[in-house]
Structure 1
Amino acid sequence: MLEIYGIKNCNTVKKALDWMNANEIAYTFHDYKKEPATREKLESWEKHTTWESLVNKKGTTWKKLSPEEQAQVTDASSANTVLLANNSMIKRPVIELKDDVILGFDEHIYQEKLLKK
C-alpha cells in the first residue's frame, strides 16, 4: 500500500487522490494538518529526491517568508528546519514507494511507476 502525504484541500493532492481512486490503487493518506511531517520523514524522502525538490518555492507559504529567511535555506538541514515549521511548504503530494518517492501530480509518471503493465 502506498503512503501519500499532503494537505487534503490542496488541488494537486485532490488530483492525485482522484487518480489513485480511478485506478483502484490502495493508499493511506497522511494530512500534514493532522500529522505533521517529522525530521526523520524528511530525511528518508531526501534519500530518493533532493531537499530542493521538497521545498515548494511556488507556493504562498514560501512567498510569505522574508528574503532573509529564504536566503537562509541553503542545505538539507536548514531546509528541513523551515519545512518542519511550515509543513504546507512541502511539495505536494509526496508519494512513498518501496524504493522511491514521487513528488507532485504527473499522470505519466504515475502510469509508469504505479500501474502494473
Structure 2
Amino acid sequence: MIKVYGITTCGSVKKALSFFKAKVIPYSFVDLKTTQISEETLEEWLSKQPLLRLFNTKGTKFKTLNLSKELSDEAKKEWLLKEQLLFKRPIVECEDGALLVGFDEELYLRTFSS
C-alpha cells in the first residue's frame, strides 16, 4: 500500500490526498507532527532522493528556526531527524519502492495510472 507522509494542514499534502481519494487509490497516512522518522528511514529515502529534495528551505519551520541555507549536508540530516516539519511534503512511498517528494499532478498521473 502507498504510504503518504505529511501534515494535514499542508496544501500540497491535501492535494496529494485528494488525488488518491479521487482515483480510489488506497493509501495510509503518516502524520509528521506525531511520528518520528528514524535515521534508517531517512537513509533509505536519501538512497532514492537527494537531500536537497527532502529538505524544505521554503517552509515556515525553516524560517522560524532561522536556519542558514548554507547548512552542511550532515547538519541538514541532523535537523531533519530533530524537526520533522523540515521535510518537503508530501513524501510518498510507492508500492514499487519509488519515493516521490512534493505534489506534482503530472508525475502522479504517470506514476499511478494503471
Whether TM-score is above 0.5 comes out as: yes
Any unmatched runs of 5+ in structure 1?
none
Identity of aligned residues (%): 35
Question: TM-score with structure 1 length normalisation?
Answer: 0.89
Any unmatched runs of 5+ in structure 2?
none
Which residue identity is paired with 2:45? W
Structure 1 residue 71: deviation in Å? 5.4
Residue 62 of structure 1 is matched in structure 2 by 62
1:1-117 superposed matches below 5 A: 1-66=1-66, 69-70=67-68, 73-75=71-73, 77-97=74-94, 98-116=96-114
Structure 1 residue 63: deviation in Å? 1.4
Q: Which 10-residue stretch deviates more, 97-106 or 43-52?
A: 97-106
**Residues 15-61 of structure 1: CA distance to partner in whole angstroms, max 9, x if unpaired?**
10011000011111000112121211111111111011111111111
Mapped to 1, the partners of 2:63 and 2:5 lie a distance apart of: 22
Question: Residue 36 of structure 1: SS of its match in structure 2?
Answer: coil
Which residue identity is paired with 1:70? S
* Structure 1 vs Structure 2 CA RMSD: 1.4
Question: TM-score with structure 2 length normalisation?
Answer: 0.91
